[in-house]
Amino acid sequence: MIKTDCHLHSSFSSDSDTPMIDMIHAATDKGLDTICFTEHMDLQFPDKYDMDFIFEPEKYMKQLNELKNTFSNNIDILAGIETGLKPGLKNEYDSILSMHEWDYVIGSTHLVDDIDPYYSEYWEGYSEKTAINRYFECVYDNIQSCGNYDAVGHLDYILRYAPSKNKYFSYKESADIIDCILKKIIYEGKALEINTNGYRSGLSSPNPCSDIIKRYMELGGVLFTIGSDAHCTGHIAYGYNEAYNLLSSLGIKHYAVYKKRKPEIISLV
């Protein structure tokens, strides 16, 4: 079974109020042996949303390292970050990432043309198909301009907020741009994150969905990371049985846990 969760948020993230220590206790209670905190760092998140998605890496590292030592006999606690990618932020992210010893960096796209698709305003004025496709175009632009990450986070994140969820989504509709993204990930040796938040966001699949995972494999992709994107204790390792069954059915036998920005390969079986 999967005993790692490499996408966790705590109260260092603006949208979580769960202390790190509570997340750690819950993870050990669930039998996990490795967790990675990946707090939100979305530089230049638009002011209109009243959320800054910024944390202080010094404070984060201090607390994480104290807890890492305290729990060293129980669980391996890794220092990660989820960067919110936007064109033009390369130097700022490079600077943050060079100043501390990170284990794992998720590169995520949370904005489309500076609009958060979580809000209905994004979906007004676009057909759903166009709105979804535009998200993938932004992902591609972002990974072109900010290449300092280890895994692309929740690649079809946009589906969580689509009015029809994934009911009308087909990989084929956005195949050209998705293929460009996947080829770039593979060429640059990055990982594809399997984010099980999809299961609790009404998608009945992880992000990305199985068609995109299959396409990544067809194109030669072999590196996967796994995380729940939990912001509270109850969501840690959420959907892991379903994810395990899906990955097994696709013939995936290994996944990666990043330590000091290098993948360690773990057997799925």
Binding site for Zn ion (CB under 5 A): 82, 108, 229
Chain centroid to CA 19: 20
The CA–CA distances, whole Å, from 240 to 71, 100, 175, 199, 243 equal 23, 31, 27, 9, 5
Nearest one of 157, 148, 145, 80 to 116, comparing CA atoms: 157
Q: What is the nearest approach in angstroms of Zn ion to the Cβ of residue 153?
A: 5
Q: How far is the CB of 269 from Zn ion (least distance, A)?
A: 27
Tracing tokens 């994004």 back to the chain, one arrives at 122
| Shortest Å, Cβ 148 to Zn ion | 17
Nearer to Zn ion, 38 or 174 (CB): 38
Give the nearest residue (CB) to Zn ion. Answer: 108
Helix/strand/coil percentages in the chain, nearest 5: 40, 20, 40
In terms of CB distance, is 117 or 263 closer to Zn ion? 117
φ/ψ bin of 148: left (φ > 0), alpha (ψ from -120 to 50), beta (otherwise): beta
Nearest distance in Å: CB 58, Zn ion: 21
Using the minimum distance from each CB to Zn ion, give the nearer residue, 4 or 108: 108
For Zn ion, the closer CB: 5 or 82: 82
